[in-house]
Amino acid sequence: MGRMAAWGARARAWLDKMPYWASRGEMGPWEQRELLRARITELEAVLDAISARAQADSERSDLAPSYVAKARLELDAARDVLGHKAHSRMRRASHLGVAQSHVDAALNLMVWTSSLDDIRALLPDMAALVDEHFPVRDPRRVRVKEITRRLSQPDNRILEPSDRFFLGETVSLARRLLRKETLRVRSFVRIVTVVTVGLIIAAVAVAWAAYRWDNLVPLCFTPESHGSFSIVCPTRTVTGLASPPGTGAVGKASSPADYLVVELVGLVAAGIASAASLRRIRGTSLPYDVPVVLALLKLPTGALTAVLGLLLMRGGFLPGLTALDSTAQIIAWSVVLGYSQQLFTKSVDSQGQAVLDAVRGPQSAYKPGEDNRP
């Protein structure tokens, strides 16, 4: 245990000595980080103005200093997190999400120090955020609508403390729901990445095992033509056999490169299918590359479906396709089977787009006026 701890300390020291860009692998989009920094600067200026007005308001002068101080602490924490010094290096863009959480907390605290005129100015944004993340019939959404309607009247100059508390808590919950939806995207990316790595390992293991024991499960067919038999493999063909070839003859005719060739052809076909499927996937401003991981998932899947499909054909699972006549036919079917991985990954593509759509709120997936949450 002591030796492992020493190794861990050495590894951390080595990472600290690395260049900034090399040791911080989850830095995330630079534009989003700078956007958050600019937003923090804006909120600091707004907080100064709100604090000055609150001090002049006798009803809020006693509570304003405490809320303003805590809001400044949250903005300072967000700026420190964006400095990228004290959090996990292996979680891509995690500092952006943490900084956004601190900014959201500062915004929620500002509701308690804002004047009635400020609340009126902020109400459209708060109501829109609530509309995105709460069902149509949710009582919290209904009450926000009522408060918005009441405060929109020019002669109404009263904001009850209970209404201020309700607005602050409801908007805070809406922002937390938005963060959860964003974290769900990151979880989806991680799951797909793990599955992709597993499939890559499986494809490499199959190719290595076939190279090591090339006659174990040969990808060869034994068609009959005009009274003679042949052994057709992905990289070799033996013709002119007088009798049906046995297992030993088929094993000798097979090549260690058979599986590798089929997997490469299936991978190329899957790559073409992956490029074609991108036309249906919209981009995202989130710092998680959902379209990229979905495209990469298809590559090892295509390599494996090409091999498994040929094994099913060789085993007679598909009637009428038990004896391919030439190496070209085997390669052609490898292309078809590699491209056919789209049948298995299409549902994953749909789920990925649904996860991205959920970040924009439940309204994006339902028609206006309908209950947009089950």
Q: Give the pLDDT confidence score for residue 368 in this predicted structure.
A: 38
Mean pLDDT to the nearest integer, 47-67: 70
> Which band of pLDDT confidence, cut at 50, 70 and 90, is reported for residue 184?
confident
Each residue of 246-292: pLDDT tens digit?
Answer: 777 777 777 888 888 999 999 999 999 888 877 766 666 676 778 88
Is 122's pLDDT higher than 90? Answer: no
Q: Give the pLDDT confidence score for residue 11 in this predicted structure.
A: 54
Is 189's pLDDT higher than 70? Answer: yes
Distance (Å, whole) CA 234 – CA 314: 12
Mean pLDDT to the nearest integer, 311-317: 80
Q: Give the pLDDT confidence score for residue 198 in this predicted structure.
A: 93
Look up residue 216 and give its amino acid.
Answer: L
Q: Give the pLDDT confidence score for residue 15 in this predicted structure.
A: 47
Q: Give the pLDDT confidence score for residue 61 in this predicted structure.
A: 56
Tell me if residue 153 falls in helix, strand or coil. coil
240: Cβ contacts below 8 Å, ≥ 6 apart: 228, 230
Is 364's pLDDT higher than 60? Answer: no
254 CA to centre of own chain: 41
Could you tell me what percentage of the chain is helix, strand and coil, using 3-state DSSP and rounding each to the nearest 5? 70, 5, 25
Q: Give the pLDDT confidence score for residue 268 in this predicted structure.
A: 93
Q: Give the pLDDT confidence score for residue 203 in this predicted structure.
A: 92
| Residue-by-residue DSSP string for 19-66 | -HHHH-TT---HHHHHHHHHHHHHHHHHHHHHHHHHHH-TTTTTTHHH
> Which band of pLDDT confidence, cut at 50, 70 and 90, is reported for residue 235?
confident
339: closest CA among 291, 301, 313?
301
Q: Give the pLDDT confidence score for residue 266 in this predicted structure.
A: 92
Whether the Cβ atoms of residue 327 and residue 232 lie closer than 8 Å to each other: yes
Each residue of 88-102: pLDDT tens digit?
Answer: 444 566 777 788 888
Q: Give the pLDDT confidence score for residue 267 in this predicted structure.
A: 93
pTM: 0.72
Distance (Å, whole) CA 139 – CA 155: 26
- Locus of tokens 């040791």: 23
